[in-house]
Amino acid sequence: MTLMDEARRGRVPPVVEAVAKREGLDPAKLSNLIASGTVVIPRNARREIEPMGVGELLNTKVNVNIGTSQALDDPEVEVEKALAAVESGADTIMDLSTGGDLTYLRRKILATAGVPVGTVPIYQAAVEKKLDSQGLFNALEEQAKDGVDFVTVHVGVNKNSLERLRKDPRVMGVVSRGGSITMKYIAETGEENPYYAEYDYLLEIAKEYELTLSLGDGLRPGCIEDASDRAKYMEFIVLGELVDRARVAGVQAMVEGPGHVPADEIETSVKAMKFLTKRAPLYLLGPLVTDVAPGYDHITAAMGGVIAGMAGADFLCATTPSEHLDLPTKEDVIEGTYVTRIAAHAADLTKPGVKEKARLWDLGMATARAELDWDGQFRAAINPARARQIRHRRGVDTETCTMCSELCAIRLAKEARELDNGRQGKPAG
Ligand code: SF4
């Protein structure tokens, strides 16, 4: 019986209890959300990890991608990146490897990361040049057996959605790696996408291993000009139908979204995705709010991430400064993780159900700032080491900082308050 089946029988399994405790939510309420499919807990039946939930009434989560490419395939470096991302607060890791020994790296990440791990099985099938139905399902099952907790499957890229793309051409076409592999397979063979055509079999495998499906946005827009077209929405209609079928089968499913979207279209896009998928947990890659900032795309993605989170996105995929340019370094991964966590937290400050808890964190920082309590500020900082390093980089350790020094507004205002209180006979403070 899957977690969803158990929740539907009114039970509260231990993993649900654990997530409820972590989120400060009533376990029975969380169990109902899992039963309805609006929250998922990605955890393979074979893995013993701290469970983590994604979806309604939960904090916005952050995924970090790592993985080799065919140009750079040092598995130890990728493991280091994964561990650095977890250390920096990533909630999940996705291994997107396409170079070297994929099985070795996947197993090593599963053994060391300690958080839910996701993969994209079509990459393995493509690398092994086994892109037929058997090769695709073998890759999926092998990864599920290894203990992978969630998989991206580009099931929405089918003949129908590609027809919409043909009739409404884009500047950048298809920019998803899995989407383009699937598109080429359909063009070469004339066959339907096997993951779509044999979706019931895919659900059987997912059910057996308690594998959470992340229904990939293979037709996500790759530039602002392509942001809101028919192909994208056609894919969401297909994904919505496939979410329904996953729920009937008792399989947890979330949905992935774009991509590159101008700021004023993000809310509509998120709400449409939520509507079409009956409030399935929404996992976004960005959205990047402009195309013109290579080197800063962790920032363009974070801007979009805040707006998307405010509109209902549940899960943000970290973007690094290397996006569109190079395989990220470990330092890029750390930077991308923190910047995406900031976006997730900024969204949480506005989200019903989580904003009260999120605001306590900011209140802790504000209280420490008002007292010029530097240790308190470091403790409340999202990246304490970075805050401490900048504060001390000139060797100065005065009560105020070097920005305004003797004209420190906080100190002057505090002194003014104390004088005022003294005149009125009130205690200082
Ligand atoms: S010196 Fe200026 S910037 Fe620094 S703590 Fe005081 S008010 Fe803030």
Q: Is 408 in the pocket of ligand 1 (CB under 6 A)?
A: yes
- Banded pLDDT at 425 (limits 50, 70, 90): confident
Q: Are 336 and 45 in contact (CB under 8 A)?
A: no
Q: Is 272 in the pocket of ligand 1 (CB under 6 A)?
A: no
**Which tens digit of pLDDT belongs to each residue from 250-300?**
999 999 998 999 999 999 999 999 999 999 999 999 899 999 999 999 999
**Which tens digit of pLDDT belongs to each residue from 199-242?**
999 999 999 999 999 999 888 889 999 998 888 899 999 999 99
Percent of the chain with pLDDT over 90: 90
- pLDDT for 410 equals 95
**3-state class (DSSP) for residue 408:** coil
For the CA of 405, the nearest atom of ligand 1: 1
Please tell me the distance from the alpha carbon of residue 362 to that of residue 369, in angstroms, as a whole number. Answer: 11
Domain boundaries, the chain: 1-36, 41-353, 398-429
- pLDDT for 192 equals 96
Best probe residue, ligand 1, of 377, 408, 411, 415 (max atoms within 8 Å of C-beta): 408
Average pLDDT over residues 58-65: 98
**Which tens digit of pLDDT belongs to each residue from 94-108?**
999 999 999 999 999
Question: H helices of 221-315, where?
Answer: 230-249, 263-276, 297-311
Q: Is 404 in the pocket of ligand 1 (CB under 6 A)?
A: yes
pLDDT at residue 79 tops 60: yes
- Banded pLDDT at 427 (limits 50, 70, 90): low
Average pLDDT over residues 184-208: 96
Q: Is 400 in the pocket of ligand 1 (CB under 6 A)?
A: yes
- pLDDT for 286 equals 87
| Helix H or strand E segment including 93 | strand 92-95
Please tell me the distance from the alpha carbon of residue 78 to that of residue 55, in angstroms, as a whole number. Answer: 28
C-alpha dihedral sign at 277, 63, 155, 32: negative
pLDDT at residue 323 tops 70: yes
Please tell me the distance from the alpha carbon of residue 273 to that of residue 278, in angstroms, as a whole number. Answer: 8
Please tell me the distance from the alpha carbon of residue 126 to that of residue 183, in angstroms, as a whole number. Answer: 13
What is the distance in A from the centroid of ligand 1 to the CA of 409? 6
What is the distance in A from the centroid of ligand 1 to the CA of 332? 30
Best probe residue, ligand 1, of 394, 410, 411, 414 (max atoms within 8 Å of C-beta): 410
Q: Is 401 in the pocket of ligand 1 (CB under 6 A)?
A: yes
Q: Which residue, among 371, 374, 362, has the nearest Cα to 413 in the 3D structure?
A: 371
Best probe residue, ligand 1, of 369, 371, 372, 403 (max atoms within 8 Å of C-beta): 403
Beta-carbon count within 10 A of 6 CB: 18
- CATH code of 41-353, in short, is 3.20.20.540
- pLDDT for 210 equals 97
Q: Hey, which residues does 282 pair with through a beta bridge?
A: 255
What type of residue is 150? F
Best probe residue, ligand 1, of 404, 411, 414 (max atoms within 8 Å of C-beta): 404
**Which tens digit of pLDDT belongs to each residue from 324-351?**
999 999 999 999 999 999 999 999 999 9
Q: Which residue, among 200, 201, 270, has the nearest Cα to 241 in the 3D structure?
A: 200
- pLDDT for 401 equals 93
339-366: burial string, b at 16+ Cβ within 10 Å, e else: bbbbbbbbbbbebeebeeebeeeeeebe
Please give the model's pTM, rounded to 2 decimal places. 0.95
**By alpha-carbon position, which residue is closest to atom 6 of ligand 1?**
408
CA distance readout (Å), 294 to 116, 304, 317, 319, 324: 29, 15, 17, 11, 7
pLDDT at residue 396 tops 90: no
Q: Residue holding tokens 């991302």?
A: 85
Average pLDDT over residues 381-408: 94
What is the distance in A from the centroid of ligand 1 to the CA of 375? 15
What is the distance in A from the centroid of ligand 1 to the CA of 427? 25
End-to-end CA distance of the chain: 59
pLDDT at residue 426 tops 80: no
